[in-house]
Structure 1
Amino acid sequence: MPTKNAIQNVIDQTTVSLRRALWARLTMRVIAFVLALLWIGLLGDYFLEPSPTVRATIGAAVGLIGLGLLVRELRTAFRPLARDEIVLAIARRLGTSADAFVTAAELAEDPERSAAIQPALLRETDLAAQETLDHVGPLGIVRWRALGGKSALVAFVLLATVAIGLAFPGGAGVYLRRLGLAEEPWPRRVRLVAEGFEPTPDGPGQARKVARDSPFELAVVADLTGGHIAPRVVDLRYTTASGVKGRDSLARVGDPNESGAQALKFRRGFDSVTEDLTLWLRGGDCRLGPLRLLAVARPRVSELQADCVPPTYLGQRPFSASVASLPRLPEGTAVTLQGETSKPLESLTAVLLGAGGEPTPLIAQLDDSGVRFEIPLSILHQTATIELALLDRDGVASAEAMRVVIGVDRDEPPVVSLAFEGVGPAVTPEARITATASADDDHGVASMTLTLSGSQETVAKLPLAPPQSGDATVTTVIDLLTLRGAKQGQRASYAEGESLSIVATTSDHYDLGGKPHTAASTPRVFEVVSAAELLARLAEREIDLNRAFEETTRATERLALSLEQSLAPPAGAEGEANAEDGDAPGAAIRLRQRRLEAQKLRSETRAAAAAFAAIHDEVMNNRIDNSDLIDRLGRRIARPLERVAADQLSDVEKTLGSAAESPAGSGTRRTAIENAHNASRSALRQMLEVLTQMQSLETYNRVVADLRGIIQEQRDVQNSTEQSRKEGLRRLLLD
């Protein structure tokens, strides 16, 4: 019968066997886990080739999981085995004969309970337990055969892994180095590179940003150097951000069998990239992906203004304005463009286009944010066209160069004209010449000068003071008599027979070229003559005016006579038919014709008055001392003619117009005709009086002309006598 120590010995031996089995199982599981990780990692790394960051992340996660499993297994291997657990394990191994052993083990552990059992029954239990132990033995409790089979399989895989590593040291080395987070790629027969894609720092694969809603061409290069070969076809799988999937093949460009070829390109075009795409490529044994194609907005100029500094000579303040509403700038304005873009820029290219389209690079300054920029344009002398090309930090360029046009108005030279009053083409040496110089410039006139030049190179410069604002029109009187005693630079004397040229010059405030713009009027040339000569020339003009005015007077007389006839009483039916104040057809038309005649007479009379007034002014301004002539030209001829034109002939014209509009046969029409007739008769009387003055003046002019002829003949005789004396004296000296 087994004693208490014998049962305990069996339990202890079983405990040691179980502890060894647990350690063997732990070792086998650790090796199997490591081998599984190696092979799974090998397959994933070979086909996916994740980045070092991804590999490190996965390695850390797997390491944490493995560490947790290892801790759990170690806790199982080191935990104490309770006596009841050992007995229960032995019982499970013994099967149907386990009851006697369990009962004997419990009685051996509890003597008091054993003493309470009948001896015969206790002996029978001990014999059954001893028989069971003798039949099974303590080592039969652990299933070493099943554990050994699994361990052999693990050992085989381990040896196979070592053998494969020794057989392919290159691949094993690459794998080990990649486990060490090296950048070294797996050696493949096919090597594909997607142009323009860069590794993503925050995830697996590569990425490239392209302009949204723009065409894109995917270019993949197969490297043919270093023993690599060209794939027969490159397949593409893609998925859009909205979940649409698709497949396609890339088109091959070139011939892989071409001698010396180092690369082969494959292409696939996208008509428009409207959203993000994720691409995967497969060619031969190479897998490339995921490739992320990110659709981003193109950069654009969201705000652009011009800081303008006008030239100092204009006296304008600097200002800023949006380029879209910028007015045309004056020449010489310094411009600096200030702008803001919709996204940060990597570079900004600005060029100034010349008149022929040739570009001139400009300096474009970006701030640290890459959003704001500044482009100094310096001083503009003509309309400027600037083109801006943007490239953002995503590598996306603007759709097309932005063109900015800044209009510039050139500073035009001034324009000056010169007009004269009160003188004609001939003047006396003592004449007063009224000159009016008018200058116009886009930014104002700085100076005006009258220059007088004689045929004897006598020059006088008379400065004028142009107004500070408004039209630069200055009227001045050039007194030739006063110029004889003027200060140096303005002193001049012009004798009879000389030519006097007067020209007006002006300059503006322009100072960009070092000198202002200048302009000169058309020169006006006067002939300097004596008073007698001038009077003779004026007399010739008066004669022509007299002839013309005589015809005007006769026309006035005819008009008055026709109006008088229209007022005569009718002499029968025929006379009534011709009366202009009756109901005869055409009466209103004839009255309108008479009105046009009166209008013409008024115009001719006004012109005659102006012509005689001009002759009067010439006599006055040339300082001709003849009070009777001056009084006759002004008070007795020019002024009466002005009154005739303004009063009587104007009344004739108005009343005839009223008569034409009055009803036929009415008293209103007849009254109007009577008033017109009276006014015409009054005008005729005054015109005849003026004509008498003209004829008296003409007689006076003839006398003056005859006297002038006698004087000229005396001068000729005197000159001839003087010449004969000189000739005789010369002959005496020669003899």
Structure 2
Amino acid sequence: MSDIPLPQLSQMTAGVLTRLSKLRRQVTTWFWVDGLSRLAWAAIALLAADLALDWLFRMDKPQRAVMLAIIGAVLLYIVFRRLVKPLSATISDDALALEVERLNPHLHESVISALQFSRMEDLSERGYSPVMIRQTVQRGATASADLNFGNVLDDREFRVNSMLLLFALVLLGALVVGTFTNPLLNIWANRNLLLGDKEWPQKTYLLVERAENGKVVFPRGEDWTQLVTVTKESEVVPENVSIEFRRARGRATQTMKKTGERQFEAIFASVIEPFEFRAQGGDAYTPWVQVQLVEQPALDDLQLEVVPPAYTGLSPQPLAAGRGPYFVLKGSTLRLQGTANKELTKAELSYRLQKVEVIEPPPAKPAEKLAEGDSTEATAESSPAPTKPEPKKTRTYEVERHTPLSITEGMKLKGELPPDEVAGTQYTILLTDTLGLTSRRPTTFGLRIRADREPRVRARLIGISGMVVPKARIPFSCRVTDDFGLTDLRAKFRWDLLAQGGEDAGKSSGAGEIPFESLKDAFQGKPPGELALDEAIELGPHQIPTGSGLTFSFVAQDNDNVPDEVGAPVPNVGASSDFLVRVVTEEELRTDLLRREKEQRQEFERLVKSEEELLTDGQALEAATRDVAALTQEQKDQLMQMQKRQKVYGTNTGAIGERMANILIEVENNRLEEANGKLQGRLQEIIKPLRELADQDMPGLVQTLDQVRRQAAAQQPRNEAITTLLKQQEATIAKMKQVLALMVKSEGYQEAVNLLYEIQKSQQDVLDRTIKEQQERIKKLLEGAKPAESTPPGNK
């Protein structure tokens, strides 16, 4: 018995799989019957609705096409939803088995277990008991042997669907036959399935006059009278016929006027957009008629060209189409030319302008004579003071202009606007064609006036601080640019006395202009667009008193000669920033220069000390690294810091030299002494070594420090470089001390000079006061008055 082979697990479930396959075919048949039934009845319902709608509302061809598309879309959706989607889904054996067990709970999942275990291989390797698995499969196959798997389907619903499908197919067959035998169904099939032009049986037939191929032509923007006629084959002539509109704004229907026994008319006023209409009267509906409009005259092409004012020297410039509003210079001329879409009889340019009118004031009336009995002091020579004339006033108003444009070749036009007609406004081109039609949507373009910018003036003073003496010269560098050309450049100044007293007590301010004669030739002929001027302003001829605040700027004028609203040319004027200086006495300026010189000396003293400290650091570094093979990272960082400090000292030394040079230039510009005077000589003795220190000595120290840092790992070259560095530093410090000594010497000399000036000024004050006192005493004696005792000037 043990030698009899046991059947395989898959053979034990073969019967179950066969019945599941049969169930799958039954499910497919069920889906086919259900889907086709729904599809057939949906088609019947949609076709019936389509027939009813077309019978009641007389749908036109586009509407019938839409309905046909809707029917097709709905049927396709049903096919996809009820046939394609269910039938394309694959139902597995496990899913069918689970459905069978759901309706037969007593199986306790034995069928699905048998199916799944029968597909498994190598049970012993997976740790399953073969005997137990075989028993499970055998139990599942045995438990399902007597079951009818087809019970999972609803037999009653299947029978109902089958009957409905059969009945629907009969109806559809009858419909197909009826389209050939029944006149109404034949008309419906022609209209709604074939999209033909057959009409439903009716008692009235209407004809839209002058319509060809479903179209009628209207002139755009004009009134149009449309006629509709009741045909002779009509049994009933309706009393009222109306027009239905489609794709027309603001219109729905319009009642036609009866003008004859079988004729009606409707007036379409000012038609400017295409639309569709049909006539309805009695039981008749005409097909929809499309309105085509005749274009009104319009421009197909417009070219604009602006001619800038002559002073600009620019050539005519075209204006890009459709890029408006266009910005043009004031005083430009506008040229235009274009091509219309049809022949024209008239073309003009319409626009509105702002005009300015000068209102002359009435003549001044003399004051009325004194009434009789008034003041008796009036004499024959006395005359009443005239009334002050009123200033001129202007009135701004707007005018509308229509400038004709010339027409050539019937369709081309051109014209030109003079400068006084080119303004910042909207321009409209009005056209009239041979039929007398005008532009309903005329071509427009806008202009904006672009201002000619004033000249840009940049100026700076050279060698002048905030204080000058009355006889000083003020060097400057001025750069002027303009878009088109310059015609004048001058300096304008104003002074205001800050503290009145002395001889200038009665005069507190003044102003003036300084033209530059050297520019006279530059402004002849074509004015330059760019100008560079390096000159000096002499203050002496303008006699500006000391103690005044002087404000001046450089003012440039361009070559804009376009007249303004009242006819006067107004060039553009640009100015530089204002410069403010104080006019002081020579003593005050010398005192200020001495103060600034002391500040530079004090700052240089700090640099000398810093350089000595740097020398000490170098000596310490030399002692610490003399016998070492390589520098540590800390020593390298120290060298780097020393190098940075030395660069800063060099920069600061150069700055002190530049400030001392500025003091020297101020001495020269303020004419504190003759050329090559002692003060200038001492300053030059200081400035020259300062510049050598900043440009040669200290950069040399920086290079040597860098060499030491680069030789950090080489003992002998490094020691040699450090020795060279220390010698350079000592020489530099000695040179700095020499410069410092010169600074101290110069300060002492300048203090002595300032003291002498103060003594001289005090003596002059005493002398002036004595002379004034003497003059007052003499005046009183001559007038006979007893002179009052006065204190001597020196004792006040």
**TM-score of Structure 1 vs Structure 2, range by shorter chain:** 0.5 to 0.7
In structure 2, relative to structure 1, the CA distance for the partners of 1:321 and 1:525 (3 Å cut) is closer
Q: Which structure 2 residue ranges, 5 or more long, are not aligned?
A: 1-205, 230-236, 258-263, 355-397, 497-506, 564-568, 787-796
Q: How does 1:616-631 map to 2 (within 5 A)?
A: 616-625=664-673, 627-631=677-681
- Which one of 606, 610, 615 corresponds to residue 555 of structure 1? 610
In structure 2, relative to structure 1, the CA distance for the partners of 1:718 and 1:322 (3 Å cut) is closer
Query: Does the Cα contact within 8 Å between 2:457 and 2:576 map onto a contact in 1?
Result: yes
Q: 2:244, 2:588 → 1: CA distance?
A: 110
Deviation at 1:630, TM superposition (A): 0.9
Secondary structure, aligned partner of 1:317: coil
Are 2:431 and 1:367 aligned?
Answer: no
Secondary structure, aligned partner of 2:516: strand
1:412-441 alpha-carbon deviations (Å, 9 max, x no partner)? 122334432233333334433213333232
Deviation at 1:445, TM superposition (A): 1.5
1:545 is matched by which residue type in structure 2?
Answer: Q
In structure 2, relative to structure 1, the CA distance for the partners of 1:384 and 1:378 (3 Å cut) is farther
Deviation at 1:475, TM superposition (A): 1.5
In structure 2, relative to structure 1, the CA distance for the partners of 1:382 and 1:632 (3 Å cut) is farther
In structure 2, relative to structure 1, the CA distance for the partners of 1:660 and 1:711 (3 Å cut) is same
RMSD, matched Cα: 5.3
Deviation at 1:676, TM superposition (A): 5.2
- Which one of 527, 531, 539 corresponds to residue 594 of structure 2? 539
Deviation at 1:447, TM superposition (A): 0.8
Q: 2:585, 2:553 → 1: CA distance?
A: 23
Number of equivalent positions: 493
- Which one of 508, 515, 518 corresponds to residue 462 of structure 1? 515
Corresponding residue number in structure 2 for 1:339: 338
In structure 2, relative to structure 1, the CA distance for the partners of 1:660 and 1:347 (3 Å cut) is farther
Query: Does the Cα contact within 8 Å between 2:492 and 2:511 map onto a contact in 1?
Result: no
1:684-719 alpha-carbon deviations (Å, 9 max, x no partner)? 232211111000011112222332333333334434
Q: 2:759, 2:443 → 1: CA distance?
A: 88
Corresponding residue number in structure 2 for 1:233: 241
In structure 2, relative to structure 1, the CA distance for the partners of 1:264 and 1:272 (3 Å cut) is closer
Q: 2:578, 2:244 → 1: CA distance?
A: 87
- Which one of 445, 455, 462 corresponds to residue 414 of structure 1? 455
Q: 1:552, 1:318 → 2: CA distance?
A: 65
2:596 is matched by which residue type in structure 1?
Answer: R
Query: Does the Cα contact within 8 Å between 1:422 and 1:621 map onto a contact in 2?
Result: yes
Are 2:644 and 1:644 aligned?
Answer: no
- Which one of 754, 774, 796 corresponds to residue 705 of structure 1? 754
1:420 is matched by which residue type in structure 2?
Answer: L
Query: Does the Cα contact within 8 Å between 2:245 and 2:253 map onto a contact in 1?
Result: no
Decide which structure has the larger Cα Rg and report it: 1
- Which one of 431, 436, 447 corresponds to residue 472 of structure 2? 431
Q: How does 1:142-541 map to 2 (within 5 A)?
A: 208-209=217-218, 231-234=239-242, 251-253=252-254, 293-294=291-292, 301-318=299-316, 320=318, 323=321, 329-344=328-343, 363=403, 365=405, 367=407, 369-379=409-419, 386=427, 404=445, 409-451=450-492, 457=510, 459=512, 461-466=514-519, 469=528, 471-480=530-539, 483=541, 492-494=542-544, 496=546, 501-513=551-563, 514-541=569-596
In structure 2, relative to structure 1, the CA distance for the partners of 1:193 and 1:314 (3 Å cut) is farther
Deviation at 1:645, TM superposition (A): 1.0
In structure 2, relative to structure 1, the CA distance for the partners of 1:305 and 1:609 (3 Å cut) is same
Query: Does the Cα contact within 8 Å between 1:354 and 1:385 map onto a contact in 2?
Result: no
1:620 is matched by which residue type in structure 2?
Answer: E
Deviation at 1:311, TM superposition (A): 0.6
In structure 2, relative to structure 1, the CA distance for the partners of 1:444 and 1:460 (3 Å cut) is closer
2:462 is matched by which residue type in structure 1?
Answer: E
In structure 2, relative to structure 1, the CA distance for the partners of 1:219 and 1:462 (3 Å cut) is same
1:631-660 alpha-carbon deviations (Å, 9 max, x no partner)? 1101x1112212211112223345545665
In structure 2, relative to structure 1, the CA distance for the partners of 1:660 and 1:376 (3 Å cut) is farther
1:448 is matched by which residue type in structure 2?
Answer: L
2:241 is matched by which residue type in structure 1?
Answer: V
Deviation at 1:590, TM superposition (A): 3.3
Q: TM-score, normalised by structure 2?
A: 0.51
In structure 2, relative to structure 1, the CA distance for the partners of 1:433 and 1:341 (3 Å cut) is same
Deviation at 1:298, TM superposition (A): 7.8
Q: 1:593, 1:297 → 2: CA distance?
A: 87
Are 2:632 and 1:633 aligned?
Answer: no
Q: 1:346, 1:588 → 2: CA distance?
A: 95
2:532 is matched by which residue type in structure 1?
Answer: T
Query: Does the Cα contact within 8 Å between 1:383 and 1:409 map onto a contact in 2?
Result: no
- Which one of 631, 651, 668 corresponds to residue 603 of structure 1? 651
Q: 2:479, 2:242 → 1: CA distance?
A: 84
Query: Does the Cα contact within 8 Å between 1:465 and 1:474 map onto a contact in 2?
Result: no
Secondary structure, aligned partner of 1:734: coil
Query: Does the Cα contact within 8 Å between 1:390 and 1:397 map onto a contact in 2?
Result: yes
Query: Does the Cα contact within 8 Å between 2:242 and 2:254 map onto a contact in 1?
Result: no
Corresponding residue number in structure 2 for 1:65: none
Deviation at 1:338, TM superposition (A): 1.3
